[in-house]
Amino acid sequence: MSKVQRLKPAHKIYERLLWDQDCISGTNFVIGYEDRFLGIMEATREEFESEEIPFHRVRYFKDVDTGQHIWDREKRIDLITRNYVLI
């Protein structure tokens, strides 16, 4: 029986997007997060940092150029660390 790997947490993915040169540059992604009253919202990196949105509200990271979700909590996608998570 194989172990199910855990999805990397949002704060680790965020750090990797900011500092790893092999990933998307820090300006080419948006963060999808859940607002308590408005539902799923998107923010740029600058908006995310200035509004101080907690990481437990992050639902996905999306590549602006392609529109592809590169990390998605609900769909269990992690293209950043190439760590595919089996459900």
Structure tokens at 72: 């998605």
Q: Compute the distance between CA of residue 11 and CA of residue 86 in angstroms, rounded to an integer.
A: 21
Q: Is the pLDDT of residue 76 over 80?
A: yes
> By C-alpha distance, which of 5, 30, 6, 7 is closest to 17?
30
Give 86's pLDDT tier (boundaries 50, 70, 90).
very low
Q: How many residues does the chain have?
A: 87
pTM of the model: 0.83
What pLDDT, in 10s, does the model give residues 11-57?
999 998 888 766 665 568 999 999 999 999 999 989 998 988 999 99
Give 2's pLDDT tier (boundaries 50, 70, 90).
low
User: Would you state the pLDDT for residue 24?
Assistant: 65
